């Protein structure tokens, strides 16, 4: 449906051809823009209607005081369904520390939450199919589990800023939610406005990059350098991806274009994960609560974990 | 007069929230005392981890995300 609409606009109305570079890129851009934004609005509205989104305060309550393996499992699974704006990472970090949750578990949460979320998962399945989506989710969960575990070994507590330990958190009386249908509808519409308002730039940027890749990168070049899954393509993808920031949803069209041209799956997944999981801006925000050695380690641990996962997938495929 | 605090580390959503509350109060002709709380210890002291949060007369009424207009009018 979306492809037909894009064909109508780009090929019939503008008179471009599918074999043409500009035509191919524009077609990709139009089809993906319509498809992704329609899906975004629908999913967020549905989630809002059922008030299905968890708050970090609730996650903290569930995770605190559990044995470490259970705390880590919960942090990762709940992290995957908790919408999380990187602007909240500082209060979240402090809140977890104050609850006595081990730092390694908090790191697991910080890895899982931006990388996997229900909105990105539904869109990923809609665009790249559910098999690849399952692989991405499994890979993300594994990276979050082992990444947090590895961080714990370095005893990152010693790098936490002193003031963090002194903060005492108050008890919040959770405000009662309006459960009438009118209230739910209002809440859901507001969620759509807020989340789409926050994400649209990243999504458009991702679609534009994907469209350029789709239209202008020659298949022969991809086949020669990126398709075989040569070992060095994975760490290269990770090194490029780690400092870059985009939202998990924004990465999807880029991955779509890469896979479409035949880039190896492990390389593509590693690229996606490294962009979504960590970024320079996020590190600068986290610097307020923890010192550079811990952040450098965090980046290194993640890069290694994602590289291993990428190699694994390239081996299987 | 209601004392309203917007909790947030100065991110854009927090600014938007403060502005929305100001506008809603002005439209209704209600005098409020609006305060922006950016100190982390104070924010967490209210038990809020997801910003922006809104506190009215010492009571947390909202946390996480920009509240919609109707909700704000309900508080006032």
Q: Does A57 touch chain B (CB under 8 A)?
A: yes
Within 8 A by CB and 6+ apart from B26, the residues are none
Average pLDDT over every residue of B58-62: 86
Give contacts of A85 with chain B, Cβ < 8 Å: 11, 13, 50
Q: Say what percent of chain B tops pLDDT 70.
A: 100
Helix/strand/coil for B65: coil
Average pLDDT over every residue of A137-165: 93
Task: Give the pLDDT of residue A66.
Answer: 92
pLDDT digits 0-9 by tens, B12-31? 788 889 999 999 988 888 88
Question: What band does A83 get if pLDDT is binned at 50, 70 and 90?
Answer: low
pLDDT: is A305 or A281 the higher one?
A305
Catalytic residues of B: 11, 14
Nearest CA distance, A172 vs chain B (angstrom): 5
Is the pLDDT confidence value at A168 over 90? no
Q: Parse chain A into domains and list their residue ranges.
A: 2-13+20-167+180-316
Nearest CA in chain A to B41: A167
Of the candidates A88, A166, A175, which has its C-beta nearest B51's C-beta? Answer: A88
Q: How many CB atoms lie within 10 A of CB A56?
A: 25
CB within 8 Å: A190 and B64: no
Q: Among A12-16, A224-228, A306-310, where is mean pLDDT lowest? A: A12-16
Of the candidates A85, A94, A170, which has its C-beta nearest B46's C-beta? Answer: A170
Cis bond before residue B52 (omega within 30° of 0): yes
CB within 8 Å: A175 and B63: yes
Q: What is the 3-state secondary structure (H, E, C) of chain A?
A: CHHHHHHHHHHHHCCCCCCCHHHHHHHHHHHHHHHHHHHHHHHHHHHHHCCCCCCHHHHHHHHCCCCHHHHHHHHHHHHHCCCCCHHHHHHHHHHHHHCCCCHHHHHHHHHHHHHCCHHHHHHHHHHHCHHHHHHHHHHHHHHHHHHHHHHHHCCHHHHECHHHHHCCCCCCCCCCCCCCHHHHHHHHHHHHHHHHHHHHHHHHHHHHHHHHHHHHCCHHHHHHHCCCCCCCHHHHHHHHHCCCCCCHHHHHHHHHHHHHCCCCHHHHHHHHHHHHHCCHHHHHHHCCCECHHHHHHHHHHHHHHHHHHHHHHHHHC
Average pLDDT over every residue of A236-260: 89
Q: Which residues, in sequence order, are bridge partners of residue A290?
A: A160
Q: How many CB atoms lie within 10 A of CB A173?
A: 10
Task: Give the pLDDT of residue A85.
Answer: 65
Residues A303, A238: contact at Cβ < 8 Å?
yes
Residues A278, A246: contact at Cβ < 8 Å?
no
- As a dihedral over the C-alpha atoms of residue A243, residue B7, residue A200, residue A286, rounded to 10 degrees, the angle is 10
Is the pLDDT confidence value at A58 over 70? yes
Of the candidates B40, B63, B67, which has its C-beta nearest A172's C-beta? Answer: B63
Q: Does A88 touch chain B (CB under 8 A)?
A: yes
Task: Give the pLDDT of residue A258.
Answer: 93
Q: Among A40-54, A143-157, A174-188, B60-74, where is mean pLDDT lowest? A: A174-188
CB within 8 Å: A169 and B68: no
Buried b (16+ CB within 10 A) or exposed e, A175-199: beeeeeeeebebbbbbbbebbeebb
Residues A63, A79: contact at Cβ < 8 Å?
no
Task: Give the pLDDT of residue A52.
Answer: 61
Task: Give the pLDDT of residue A174.
Answer: 64
Average pLDDT over every residue of A248-269: 92
Nearest CA in chain B to A59: B49
Task: Give the pLDDT of residue A277.
Answer: 85
Nearest CA distance, A159 vs chain B (angstrom): 18
Task: Give the pLDDT of residue A12.
Answer: 77
Average pLDDT over every residue of B49-74: 85
- The Cβ-side half-sphere exposure at A176, using a 13 Å CA radius, reads 5
Is the pLDDT confidence value at B7 over 80? yes
Q: How many CB atoms lie within 10 A of CB A219?
A: 11
CB within 8 Å: A57 and B50: yes
Residues A92, A83: contact at Cβ < 8 Å?
no
CB within 8 Å: B49 and A166: no
Residues A229, A272: contact at Cβ < 8 Å?
no
pLDDT: is A252 or A52 the higher one?
A252
Q: Which residues, in sequence order, are bridge partners of residue A6?
A: none
Averaging pLDDT over each range in A42-51, A165-174, A210-219, which range is the top one?
A210-219
Q: Parse chain B into domains and list their residue ranges.
A: 2-75
A–B interface: beta-carbon pairs under 8 A:
86
- Indicate yes or no: pTM above 0.80: yes
Task: Give the pLDDT of residue A84.
Answer: 64
Of the candidates B12, B44, B50, which has its C-beta nearest A94's C-beta? Answer: B44
Give contacts of B65 with chain A, Cβ < 8 Å: 190-191, 194
Pairing relationship of beta strands B53-56 and B59-63 according to DSSP bridges: antiparallel
Pairing relationship of beta strands B53-56 and B32-37 according to DSSP bridges: unpaired
Helix/strand/coil for B37: strand
Task: Give the pLDDT of residue A289.
Answer: 93
**Domain B2-75 sits in which CATH superfamily?**
Glutaredoxin (3.40.30.10)
Helix/strand/coil for B73: helix
Residues A56, B50: contact at Cβ < 8 Å?
yes
Give contacts of A191 with chain B, Cβ < 8 Å: 65
Q: Is residue A28 packed enough to be buried (19+ CB in 10 Å), middle (13-18) or exposed (0-12)?
A: buried
Task: Give the pLDDT of residue A53.
Answer: 64
pLDDT digits 0-9 by tens, A85-134? 666 788 889 999 999 999 999 999 999 988 888 888 889 998 989 998 99
pLDDT: is A177 or A290 the higher one?
A290
Residues A171, B49: contact at Cβ < 8 Å?
no
Task: Give the pLDDT of residue A18.
Answer: 73
Could you tell me where the beta strands, DSSP code E, fall in chain B?
2-7, 32-37, 53-56, 59-63
Q: Does A187 touch chain B (CB under 8 A)?
A: yes
Task: Give the pLDDT of residue B72.
Answer: 87
d(CA B47, CA A56): 11
Question: What band does A175 get if pLDDT is binned at 50, 70 and 90?
Answer: low
d(CA A293, CA A288): 13
Q: Among A7-21, A229-243, A253-267, B13-27, where is mean pLDDT lowest? A: A7-21
């Amino acid at each position: 449906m979306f492809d037909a609409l894009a064909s109508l606009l780009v090929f019939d109305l503008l008179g471009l051809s599918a074999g043409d570079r500009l035509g191919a890129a524009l077609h990709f851009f139009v089809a993906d823009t319509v498809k992704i934004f329609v899906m975004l609005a629908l999913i967020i509205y549905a989630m809002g209607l059922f008030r299905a989104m968890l708050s970090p305060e609730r996650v903290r309550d569930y995770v605190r005081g559990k044995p470490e393996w259970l705390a880590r499992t919960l942090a990762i699974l709940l992290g995957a369904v908790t919408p999380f704006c990187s602007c909240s990472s500082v209060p979240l970090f402090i809140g977890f520390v104050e609850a006595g949750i081990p730092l390694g578990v908090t790191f697991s949460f910080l890895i899982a939450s931006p990388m996997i979320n229900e909105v990105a998962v539904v869109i990923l399945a809609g665009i790249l199919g559910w098999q690849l989506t399952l692989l991405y989710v499994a890979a993300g969960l594994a990276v979050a589990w082992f990444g947090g575990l590895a961080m714990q070994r370095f005893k990152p507590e010693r790098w936490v800023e002193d003031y963090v330990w002194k903060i005492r958190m108050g008890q919040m009386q959770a405000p009662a939610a309006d459960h009438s249908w009118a209230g739910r509808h209002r809440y859901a519409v507001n969620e759509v406005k807020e989340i789409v308002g926050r994400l649209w730039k990243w999504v458009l940027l991702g679609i534009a990059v994907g469209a350029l890749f789709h239209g202008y990168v020659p298949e022969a070049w991809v086949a020669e350098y990126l398709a075989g899954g040569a070992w060095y393509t994975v760490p290269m993808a990770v090194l490029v991806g780690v400092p870059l920031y985009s939202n998990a949803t924004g990465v999807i069209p880029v991955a779509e274009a890469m896979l479409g041209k035949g880039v190896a799956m492990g390389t593509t997944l590693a690229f996606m994960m490294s962009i979504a999981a960590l970024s320079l801006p996020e590190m600068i925000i986290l610097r307020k609560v923890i010192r550079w050695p811990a952040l450098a380690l965090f980046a290194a641990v993640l890069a290694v974990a994602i590289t291993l996962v990428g190699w694994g997938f390239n081996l299987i495929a | 007069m209601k004392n309203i605090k917007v909790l947030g580390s100065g991110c854009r959503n927090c600014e938007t929230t403060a502005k929305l509350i100001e506008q809603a109060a002005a439209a209704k002709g209600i005098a409020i005392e609006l305060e922006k709380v950016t100190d982390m210890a104070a924010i967490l002291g209210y038990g809020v981890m997801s910003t922006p949060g809104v506190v009215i007369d010492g009571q947390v009424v909202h946390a996480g995300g920009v509240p919609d207009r109707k909700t704000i009018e309900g508080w006032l």
